Amino acid sequence: MSTEIPQPNTQPGMAERAIDAASDVSRTIGEVAGGLRAAVDRLTHTVEEARKPGRPLATVAAITREAPLASLFVAFLFGVAVARRR
């Protein structure tokens, strides 16, 4: 009589591989979301700093309020200049 002990299957099954893949994707999405959140926070801080009185964004906003049509024309010319360089 042969008394062989069945060897455990060392290869993961399809369900285990799917769970591993899903957890890897979930971890990656979490890392990307964290990085994106940090980038948005830095951008928000930079814009807030630029909006303070005397800073460039505050100056542009004041000029735009005073002469909106002239500002639109300057922005259009800037866009044309950038488009022609490419």
Tell me the per-residue pLDDT of 22-46, one tens digit each, with 9 for 90 and over: 888 999 999 999 999 999 999 999 9
In a domain, 77, yes or no: yes
Question: Residue written as tokens 């100056």?
Answer: 59
Q: Which residue has the higher pLDDT, 40 or 64?
A: 40
Quote the domain boundaries for residue 36: 14-85
The four Cα atoms 32, 36, 39, 43 give a dihedral, to 10 degrees, of 170
What is the band of 17 on the pLDDT scale with cuts at 50, 70, 90?
confident
The total domain count for the chain is 1
In a domain, 4, yes or no: no
What is the rounded radius of gyration, in angstroms, for the C-alpha atoms of the chain?
29
In a domain, 6, yes or no: no
In a domain, 1, yes or no: no
Beta carbons within 10 angstroms of residue 57's beta carbon: 14
In a domain, 78, yes or no: yes
Q: Please say whether the dihedral angle defined by the alpha carbons of residues 26, 31, 36 and 37, taken in this order, is positive or negative.
A: positive
What is the band of 15 on the pLDDT scale with cuts at 50, 70, 90?
confident
Q: How far apart are CA 43 and CA 49, in angstroms?
A: 10
pTM: 0.52
